[in-house]
Structure formats: C-alpha cells, structure tokens
Structure 1
Amino acid sequence: MTDAPTCPNCGSATPEGTLFCENCGFSLGAPPTGETPLPVSLQGGVAPDASTPIDDVAPISAATHATGGTPPAPAASGRIPCRTCGGEVGPDGYCGQCGTKAPTERDHFREAPAAWVAGVCDRGIRHSRNEDAMALLASPTPGERAVLLVMDGVSNTDDSHIASLAGARAAIEVLRTPLPRGMGTPDSRIAAVTKVFADAVSAANDAVVATAPAGTPTPPSATFVCVVVEGSTLSFANVGDSRAYWLPDGAPGVQLSVDDSVAQQLIAAGTPRHQAETSAQAHAITKWLGRDARDIAPRVGTLDVSGPGWVLVCSDGLWNYASEPEALAEQVRASGATDPAALALALTDWANAQGGIDNITATLARLDGPVAGQDVVTAAQSVSDPNAETAAYPVVPQEETHG
C-alpha cells in the first residue's frame, strides 16, 4: 500500500493533485521553505525572455524584509534570511536567531522581472492565508513593454488561494505577445485590444474553474485586473474591484479601472465616494471569475501617458486604505522609494501598519517620458467612468470577506 503524500514543509497529509498545503500554505513539489536561493530575477540579473516558462520567471520564492530596510543577503548556507532580523531561517521555518516564524512562500512573495517593474503579494495581518496572486512580465529596456496582473481570490469560497494563482498564470500567457494595433483607427485598436483581454480573462476563468474542489457548494472565485504597458500607452482591463492607477509625478493621478461592486453602484447613484466605500457592502462585488460567474466580460480601456510616473496595479488590501489617486500618490511620496521593488514593499508594509485586514498586492512599473497631454479611450461596450453604472443587469452581489 502506497503511503499518502505529505507536505515536505510541515508533514501534513496532502491529497493527490493539491497545489498548496492546506495546513501551512507551502507550494507542493518545491523544496522546503528557506532551502531555495533567490531566483536570478530577484538578484538584479537579466530578465528572462518571453520563451522562459512563467514558473521560472516568477517563482514563489523570495526573501522579505522589514519596512525601510534593505534586503539582507542570503546566509552562507543559501537559506532565505529572516524578515525580522536577517538571521538564518531553519528547516522548521523559524529563525534561529530571533525565533520568528518565517512566512510561507504563499504568504509573501515578490517578483521583479526587470529593474523598472516589481511587485509584492502579502498575506496581511488578519487573514489566515494569502488569496491574492500576481504575475508580471517586463522587457529589460525601461518603458518598453510590461504586463502587471493581479487576481484577488474571494475569501468565502473554497481554494481561492489556489484559483487566483492558477488564473494569473493562465492569463499572463495570453498576454506575452504585444497587443494588436487594429486597422489604424482608435476604434479598431480598442476592439482588437478588447478581444485579447477577453481571451486572457477567459483563460483565467477556465483556470479558476478547474481548481474547484469536487462537489463544493462554494466554488473558488477571484477578481482580475491588468495593465499592459507598451511605450507611452497603457491598456487596462478589470473584472471585480482590484484596481489600476496612473500616478504621474507632480500632476493629478487617475484611477484607470472601474470597480464592479455595490460601492461603485452607490457612487453612480450619487453617494459620496468615501461614504460608499465605507458602507456595509463596500466590498460586495457584482462581477467575478469562477464557476458561478454570470458575466466575465472585462471593462477595457487605454490611456496615452506622458512624463514620468508610476503605474500601480493592486488589490483592495492596499486601496482600502487609500482609495483616491492622490491618497496613493501621497503614500508613494512619503515612502521616499525610487525603484519599484522598494516602493512595492513600502506600500505593502504601510497597508499592514494600517491593520492589514486583507491580503495585499502592489505591483508597479516606473515610466519616464517627455511631458505631453493624456487622452483616455475606452471600448464601446465598456465605460471607464468612475460614476458609471457597473452592472448590465441585476445581479446578486458576492461578498468578499475581510478578516
């Protein structure tokens, strides 16, 4: 009789086909926490090309560090250092110097495919596991091309932490190649871009559905948001309430995405933004990905930007504490960070300091360019207006549980 497989990190039983240990969140099939050296992409190496599998581009394995510090170098043994003191984390997952339990690879991970693009995905304080996921791609040349993608698993559904990661990885494969230019007119280009984003969302949805446990009455669900940077053009799409922002230096920022949520419906009806976003149903979403989703068509738009600034794509674990673009821009300025990796960590640490009631994902791209105007172009079937109605038909909102 063959012994049942067990988690190599904590020893708990792990049914066949399980991607992460349900007890400790460890990524199954990988070496125990702390045994894997930092990947090249997180050590300042050259970003992999598009032919490299995403698991090699952005593995869930990275050192972490406290607010304001610099990442400590790996210990001589190659173990990932402790986030609290920089000491060596032992095979049991605890720091041998200060005794702090290190986060699992699923609790906190980072990606940095190029020097101008980076992200952090963190469990937060209140949740027992990290149901957010991200996937990033970037060319080595700053400002040339990047993909920033975030998915937020809905907390009161089964295995949403597995579903969100699977969905992010499936969607970014669709977005590896440059977006189409259409037939040379703005309308034809946005139609072509909308088709590609719809395909990416469909791939993410298929992956989410495929992770659903057999017979579950609450199949996994997730939100979706993505920005593709191609020179001075930002193309974006979203389903749910994860968000994308453009935060130019020294100028007012703009929220690119428009939430599919009850709060957004209240805003469209005239309720002040702060009141709507702090209401009892502030995080009830009206569209999502998953087996029970009625509509997965994304809202799609483009923005031609100019001058230096930050592209920010994040989950509500971050924007819950700073919803307005100016509020987020203020946190960017207050951090003092000048590179995406440091800024993503600073924003994540700041959200945790505010209470960390939800999982937190912050992905950023730093753009520099000549000063000029900016013009928003949206798909005919979608409306990039923060005051627009968010549901094409009445839906039963799905509540995202926060803590």
Structure 2
Amino acid sequence: MDVAMTSTTQTVCPNCGSPVSEADRYCEACGAELKPSAPSTPALDTDSEPTVEINATPVSPCQSCGGVIGADGYCETCGTKAAKPRDHFDEQPAPWVAGVCDRGIRHSRNEDAMALAADPEPGSRALLVVCDGVSSSLDSDVASLAAARAAREVLTAGHAQGIGTESSRSSAIAARLKAAADAANDAVLDNTSPDSPNPASCTFVATVLEDGLLVAGVVGDSRAYWFPDDPEDATGAVALTVDDSWAAELIATGIPRAEAESGPHAHAITRWLGKDAPDHTPRTTAVQVTGPGWIVVCSDGLWNYCSEAAPLADLVRQTAAEHGGEPLATASALVDWANTQGGQDNITVALARL
C-alpha cells in the first residue's frame, strides 16, 4: 500500500508494535486503523465523532512469557510472535447488537472485517456491515476493514424516511445501501496500489434496521439472515441475501445446494468490491419484522458449515439460549463453533437481538 508521507516523525502501531509514521492511516504490518474517522463502535445518536490519533502506548505483553514485545512484533525474551489484535476482535455498540471477527484456524491472517452501529433502545435502529477480503488479492485485509468502516460512516449519516410509506422507506434505505457500497468500493480503491498486479478486493453485506423495517444489501457471498423466535412466524427463517457466486448460479439451475456448495468452484464469486469489479451495486431485499428474533450477518466462515437458513436458525437459537440471549456471548460461541468444525476460513458473526 502506498501511503503519502507528510511527516517524518516515527512511532509504533499500538496494535502490533511495528514502526509507523504519524501520517499513516493504517499499519502496513497488521492492517490496524491508526486514525479512524469514526469510533469503532459508535451509537447512532452521537452528535460528533472524535478522531483517534496515533499514540505510543506499549503493546500487550507476550502471551507466552509476559515479556516485552519488540518493534518487530516478536517477544524480546522468548521470541514468540505476538498475536495481532486483528486476528480476533469484537464490537458491541449497544447491549442488543454485537459481533465477533476471527482469523479462524487455517488462515495466516484475518481478512474479514465488520463495522457495527446501533441506537441504545433495543429493536430501534441498527447497522451491521461485514466485508470479507478475497484471499487471492493483495492487501485485502486492509481494504476490507477500510470498506466496512466507510460503509458504516455513510449509513450512520443518513436517516431518510421516503414519503412515509413502507415502500418509499424501503427504497430510501436501498439508496443509502448503494451509497454505502460506493463508499466501501472507494475505500478499497484507496487502499490498492495503482500498479498492483492483483488489486485488493472484498465482499460486502450490510443490513439496516429502522423501526421494524429490515433491509439488506449484498455484493459477493457474505450473507444476512432473519431468524424469528417463533417458528410459525409468517416470514420464517429466511436468508435475506442471494450469493453472487458460481455455486448460487448452479443452485438456480436446479443443482442441489449441498452439491453446488461443495464443488471445486463453490466459493468463486461473480461480483465484489475493488478495482477490477464488474459491478458493485448491491442487490437489496426488505422485510417487515413484527416479533422477536435475530438478525445475523456473517461471512462464509460461518455459513460454510451450516448453509441452509432453517438449520442455521436452530443453531443460533440454541446457542443464544445457552448464553442467556446475550448477543456478544452468542456471537463468540458461534465463532467457536465454526472453529470446532475446522475453521478453514476467517469467521465473522454480527448479531442484532430484537
């Protein structure tokens, strides 16, 4: 990633200890945002958003021996490489909304990202954004985080109501999701070297809940679901998004889901964000929610192991019951479950409890 250097003052990344400049916005070693334009888990009714400047706060001690982590990211005592905060992080902007993002077991870095926001009142207004960096592209871990946060910034700034009807509200929110995807795509471009042989790219999925209206938008194969508590609810357990993928195209032709999603090209996506994206306009779906339930926004690190809406709804309900219905504990447990299934990909689970 090319970074404009406007200052020669050097310090260290507060996440991994690597050298950075005060002009840097992202750490090139771990992808951590050094000067976010918005807090990592904002409430939607915040009047102003403080800027977080770089600081030289020492990184956490070595998890193996308690020693000091050097500027190269290794313990100066035992030589163990320090864990990166990006490998596993969570957000909880309100008690009823939370998410967990995890590297998984098989990947060397976490290319998933999320950005969440919510009003304090449960069930009122929530924004959940998940981006999954494409592993074969360069700097996808940095780009996905920038994309998720750029999308959240657009969504928190707007609160269009249309002309008062449900259809006009849905159209207004869909327009905001398009603007959010535009901003996310710009963020990916901003974090792609102009001469990169394999430009950064990522998927995009976002949900907006406002006063009972739930709208989801997707580019790629990250997903959004609505799981009502009542199995007899008219909406039922439903996937709000359809993947932009080779597997989804096979399913549309009648190939069984299990067969399509286990084939050699199962995870080949047909749309994404990035310099070489054919089209990044999100496809949107709206549903009116009238009872209690769960909004689930996740990367394929979770749904890889439970793709159908009904079985995944059962898993979420059971996991939530085991953790007192607390969103952060439930999201964390779902990530743990995916890791026990093999953890072959990065895993992100974002939840809103209505």
Q: Could you say whether these structures have the same fold, taking a TM-score greater than 0.5 normalized by the shorter chain as the test?
A: yes
1:236 Cα deviation after fit: 1.0
Distance in structure 1 (CA, Å) of the matches to 2:40 and 2:201: 32
What amino acid maps onto 2:32 in structure 1? S
1:197 Cα deviation after fit: 1.2
Distance in structure 2 (CA, Å) of the matches to 1:7 and 1:323: 41
Distance in structure 2 (CA, Å) of the matches to 1:343 and 1:101: 29
Provide the secondary structure at the position in 1 that maps to 2:276.
coil
Distance in structure 1 (CA, Å) of the matches to 2:189 and 2:129: 19
Provide the secondary structure at the position in 1 that maps to 2:171.
helix
Partner of 1:355 in structure 2? 342
Change (3 A) 1:326 1:94: farther
Provide the secondary structure at the position in 1 that maps to 2:203.
strand
Provide the secondary structure at the position in 1 that maps to 2:85.
coil
What amino acid maps onto 2:285 in structure 1? G
Out of 101, 118, 126, the position equivalent to 2:106 is 126
Asked if 2 retains the 8 angstrom alpha-carbon contact of 1:158 and 1:213, the reply is: no
Partner of 2:307 in structure 1? 323
CA RMSD of aligned residues (A): 3.4
Q: How does 1:277-356 map to 2 (within 5 A)?
A: 277-335=261-319, 336-337=322-323, 338-356=325-343
Distance in structure 2 (CA, Å) of the matches to 1:196 and 1:40: 20
Percent of aligned pairs sharing the same letter: 52
What amino acid maps onto 1:218 in structure 2? N
Asked if 1:50 corresponds to 2:46, the answer is yes
CA-to-aligned-CA distance 1:33-80 (integer Å, 9 cap, x gap): xxxxxx997xxxx95743343877xx9xxxxxxxxxxxxxxxxxx987
Q: Which moved more, 1:169-178 or 1:214-223?
A: 169-178
Provide the secondary structure at the position in 1 that maps to 2:226.
strand
1:216 Cα deviation after fit: 0.5
CA-to-aligned-CA distance 1:326-385 (integer Å, 9 cap, x gap): 222232234212110000100111111111111111000000xxxxxxxxxxxxxxxxxx
What amino acid maps onto 2:180 in structure 1? A
Asked if 2 retains the 8 angstrom alpha-carbon contact of 1:4 and 1:13, the reply is: no
Q: Which moved more, 1:208-217 or 1:236-245?
A: 208-217
Change (3 A) 1:88 1:118: farther
Change (3 A) 1:347 1:29: same
Distance in structure 1 (CA, Å) of the matches to 2:59 and 2:10: 25
Provide the secondary structure at the position in 2 that maps to 1:143.
coil
Q: How does 1:2-401 map to 2 (within 5 A)?
A: 7-8=12-13, 17=24, 19-22=26-29, 25=30, 27=32, 29=34, 47=43, 49-53=45-49, 91=69, 103-177=83-157, 179-251=159-231, 252-335=236-319, 336-337=322-323, 338-367=325-354
Distance in structure 1 (CA, Å) of the matches to 2:168 and 2:44: 32
Partner of 1:387 in structure 2? none
Provide the secondary structure at the position in 2 that maps to 1:201.
helix
Distance in structure 2 (CA, Å) of the matches to 1:138 and 1:297: 24
Distance in structure 1 (CA, Å) of the matches to 2:295 and 2:61: 30
1:103 Cα deviation after fit: 3.1
Distance in structure 1 (CA, Å) of the matches to 2:158 and 2:134: 30
Q: What is the TM-score of this pair, normalised by structure 1?
A: 0.73
Distance in structure 2 (CA, Å) of the matches to 1:300 and 1:283: 21
Distance in structure 1 (CA, Å) of the matches to 2:62 and 2:315: 26
Change (3 A) 1:249 1:204: same
Change (3 A) 1:240 1:322: same
Change (3 A) 1:133 1:267: same
Change (3 A) 1:262 1:81: same
What 5-or-longer segments of structure 1 have no aligned partner?
31-38, 60-77, 368-403
Change (3 A) 1:11 1:136: closer
What amino acid maps onto 1:323 in structure 2? S
Change (3 A) 1:350 1:81: farther
1:81 Cα deviation after fit: 9.4
Change (3 A) 1:102 1:51: farther
1:181 Cα deviation after fit: 2.6
What 5-or-longer segments of structure 2 have no aligned partner?
1-6
What amino acid maps onto 1:288 in structure 2? W
Distance in structure 2 (CA, Å) of the matches to 1:102 and 1:127: 16
Aligned residues between the structures? 330
Distance in structure 1 (CA, Å) of the matches to 2:43 and 2:25: 30
Distance in structure 2 (CA, Å) of the matches to 1:183 and 1:135: 29
1:325 Cα deviation after fit: 1.5
Provide the secondary structure at the position in 2 that maps to 1:128.
coil
Distance in structure 2 (CA, Å) of the matches to 1:81 and 1:255: 42
Q: What is the TM-score of this pair, normalised by structure 2?
A: 0.82
Asked if 2 retains the 8 angstrom alpha-carbon contact of 1:7 and 1:28, the reply is: no
Asked if 1 retains the 8 angstrom alpha-carbon contact of 2:215 and 2:284, the reply is: yes
Distance in structure 1 (CA, Å) of the matches to 2:259 and 2:62: 40
